[in-house]
Every structure is written in structure tokens, then in C-alpha cells.
């Protein structure tokens, strides 16, 4: 027996969309995931409101990107100015960063898209092992230096959260300024990642 009511037809693609997450009346949210780039990190984000967020990353910097920089530090760490640099490697790399972010909706570009910017603080440590030659290259030896530094960062990024699953994807660029070991040293960092949001 027909009631005369029509059941709306929904395309398969639309039916599979269970997001968007970040509904206005359901804050706060949390997210945890992975970030690929410089650094490679486990990333956590707390969303107290739609426009405010706190984030923390813990991981390892991309050591290969810093090879030339660490090579340039040899003379400042060398126990004697008569030693000649041969090679170097880094180990025990650790990166920790906390961030305060403000987010804007940019759904005119794409539904579920947000732009964010903010400031943060970064701590970095590594162990540098240098190999050097002396006595006109006739002999070789090595020394190690534990290096720790910190400084402020500025962040700019995009976050997208309109998937089939409760995840958000992001891409961000950061500008780090060394405030301790090499004051005034600047470097761009960044990466892409995914977080599971709950």
C-alpha cells in the first residue's frame, strides 16, 4: 500500500559523506595524527572553539636538510683551528613544538576548508659527530657535540575537513628563528599531515 510520500533520492557519493566534522554546537574537538616533512612528527591539536586551536608536535627534524648548516658549525665547535673538516653526522635528533593558532573559514574556495595562522615555540636537540684530519691529513679523529636550541616560530597553513571519515588534512609552512645556540638564524620549515578528529 502506497502512502503517496516520495523518498528523496541521494547519490551514492553524497550518502557516503558522514562529515563535516567541526559542527559549531559540538566543540571542543581533539585531533591526533602524523605530519610528514621537516619535521616528521606525531601531532596533536585541541580545538576549544571554531576559530581557536592549540597544537603540539613531537618528532625528528629532517637531518639531511641541515647537513650544510651543521658543516658550517664545525669551526665554532672544533677544539683547534688547525683541524680540517672531513665529514659529520647527526643522531638523537628531537623536535618539540607548541603552537597557538587562529582559524578562518574559507569555504568560498572549498567546503570544509580553513586558513590558519599563529605563533609558537620550538625546542630542538641533536648530537653532532664530526670526523676531522690533522697533521696535513695524515691522521684522522673525531669529536662529538650535544646541541640544544630553541626559538619562536610563525605558522601559516590550510586545514581541510570534509572527508568520508572524521579526519582533517593540513599543509603548513613555519618560519623558525633561533634564539639560543645561533641567535638570528632563520629557517623555513613545514609539512603535510592527517589527524583523526574526535
Instruction: Assess if residue 129 is contained within a domain.
Output: yes
Decide if 7 is inside a domain: no
Q: What is the pLDDT of residues 153-186, one digit of tens each?
A: 999 999 998 877 899 999 999 999 999 999 999 9
Whole-prediction pTM: 0.83
Report pLDDT digits (tens) over 80-115. Answer: 988 999 999 999 999 999 999 999 999 889 888 999
- pLDDT, position 191: 97
For residue 128, the enclosing domain spans 12-197
Question: Is 1 within a domain?
Answer: no
Q: What is the pLDDT of residue 35?
A: 98
CATH code of the domain containing 184: 2.40.160.20
The answer to whether 191 touches 59, Cβ cutoff 8 Å, is no
Q: In this prediction, what percent of the chain has a pLDDT beyond 70? A: 89
Domain-located, residue 5: no
Count of domains for the chain:
1
Is 76 a member of any domain?
yes
Amino acid at each position: 500500500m502506497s502512502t503517496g510520500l516520495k523518498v528523496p533520492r541521494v547519490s551514492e557519493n553524497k550518502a557516503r559523506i558522514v562529515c563535516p566534522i567541526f559542527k559549531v554546537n559540538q566543540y571542543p574537538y581533539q585531533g591526533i595524527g602524523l605530519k610528514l616533512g621537516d619535521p616528521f612528527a606525531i601531532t596533536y591539536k585541541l580545538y576549544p572553539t571554531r576559530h581557536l586551536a592549540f597544537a603540539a608536535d613531537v618528532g625528528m627534524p629532517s637531518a639531511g636538510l641541515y647537513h650544510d648548516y651543521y658543516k658550517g658549525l664545525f669551526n665554532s665547535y672544533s677544539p683547534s683551528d688547525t683541524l680540517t673538516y672531513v665529514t659529520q653526522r647527526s643522531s638523537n635528533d628531537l623536535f618539540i613544538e607548541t603552537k597557538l593558532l587562529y582559524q578562518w573559514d574559507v569555504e568560498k574556495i572549498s567546503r570544509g576548508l580553513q586558513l590558519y595562522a599563529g605563533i609558537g615555540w620550538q625546542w630542538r636537540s641533536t648530537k653532532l659527530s664530526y670526523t676531522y684530519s690533522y697533521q696535513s691529513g695524515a691522521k684522522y679523529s673525531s669529536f662529538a657535540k650535544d646541541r640544544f636550541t630553541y626559538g619562536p616560530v610563525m605558522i601559516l597553513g590550510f586545514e581541510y575537513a570534509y572527508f568520508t571519515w572524521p579526519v582533517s588534512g593540513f599543509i603548513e609552512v613555519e618560519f623558525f628563528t633561533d634564539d639560543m645556540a645561533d641567535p638570528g638564524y632563520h629557517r623555513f620549515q613545514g609539512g603535510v599531515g592527517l589527524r583523526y578528529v574526535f
